[in-house]
Amino acid sequence: MFVPIANEPRAYAWGSRTLLADYLGRDASGDPEAELWLGAHPGCPSTVVAGEHAGRGLGEALDAWRLPQPALLLKALAAAEPLSLQAHPDASEAQEGFAREDRLGIARDAPERNYRDPHPKPELIVAVTPFEALSGFRPAGEALRVLDALAAADARLAPVAARVRAGDALAWLLSGGDEVAAAVAAAEAAAPAIAAAHPVEADTVDRLARTHPGDPGILVALLLNRVSLAPGEALYLPAGNLHAYLEGLAIELMGPSDNVLRGGLTPKHVDVPELLRVVDTTPLVEPRLASTPLEGAVAYRPAAPFELRRIAGVHRVEGGARGLLLAARPTRVAIDGAEHELPQAAGAWIDAAEPFEVRSDEAWLALERDTP
């Protein structure tokens, strides 16, 4: 089965006005274009563009065919400004939280709702351009070297280092209060003084202070790994990983979920107690995910029920494959005895019992996997 699909970019305020349009060969709308979704999630379902169910949502069409819904969601993401500091629940947390908020009568589209569906949201992101992100907690000693340098420049930062040593810095920072506010202001003022010795951290403070001045998330960011991805490099963000994307264009693959627990750097709903309930503060020494070369493609295979392949050439896909395809360049697919052409920026849902072939200078294929 080959089902051509399409969608329109989502205009979140942090989105780029040019990155997504330039990459997909479209005219820029003039508005921020943050994410292009391919999938059946009800928050922004893709539309079937040909055949008997043309004009219907992908999920509706699959229901009509009595086929299962996609177990993944593929996005192109273009960030001109930092996204919120956030983490996602695991499967049991998502199911429990979704049921709890239903019992409380919180509308599923309410701004204060945390759990919009009962699914986990593990994430994989692969850089298309140079991409800046925060991902997972760094070892405490690395954070303390920076915090002690800041405290030497402004004593109002000494309590932050003390809390890191005590092991309760995250909860204390996110609780707010006068002492936290003073420490954030001190970090914003003292960052230039540490720029020579700690340029990356000084840049983190500077860029977050420009978009979210006074936010405690600025100091939380110094507890996390700052990661600069070159094109083709990837991050895997399992449940509980505290992260924020800062700038750049990337392809993102995740579970079919929109469950986000935010901790700051956003005007949207922040639920600190719920975030603290799901967050994993275990130090993450190496955030990057290695890739696997294939014939005509590169595969990214995290410990999750999905994988992502960047196709550049001719790539043969084994049978029994279900997934989503994004044509970053014009793409041809030979499947079930027929050939299909996808123009640049088009997408497709594929459900193939037999092997099929994809030819493209650049396309992204997201595949479901039975086991991580």
Tokens coding 294: 């294939």
Residue 217 to residue 209: CA distance in whole angstroms: 10
| Residues facing residue 73 across a β-bridge | 254
Give the CB-side neighbour count of residue 218, counting CA atoms within 13 A: 28
331, two tokens: 């793409």
d(CA 24, CA 343): 10
Backbone angles phi, psi at 321, to 5 degrees: -105, 135
What are the tokens at 105?
């009568």
Rounded to whole angstroms, the Cα distance separating 93 from 95 reads: 6
Catalytic residue (choose from 262, 301, 309, 310): 262
Active site residue 262: yes
List CB contacts of 271: < 8 A, sequence separation 6 or more: 114, 261, 262
- Which residue type does 324 have? L
> Please, what sign has the CA dihedral across residues 45, 46, 51, 55?
positive
Distance of CA 205 to the CA centre of its chain: 21
Between helix 158-166 and helix 178-190 the angle, nearest 10°, is 110
d(CA 26, CA 263): 34
Q: Nearest CA to 2 among 316, 347, 308, 252?
A: 347
- Please report which residue ranges of the chain form alpha helices under DSSP H: 19-24, 58-64, 91-103, 140-153, 158-166, 169-175, 178-190, 199-211, 217-221, 272-278
Contact between residue 261 and residue 94 where contact means Cβ atoms under 8 Å apart: no
Catalytic site positions: 262
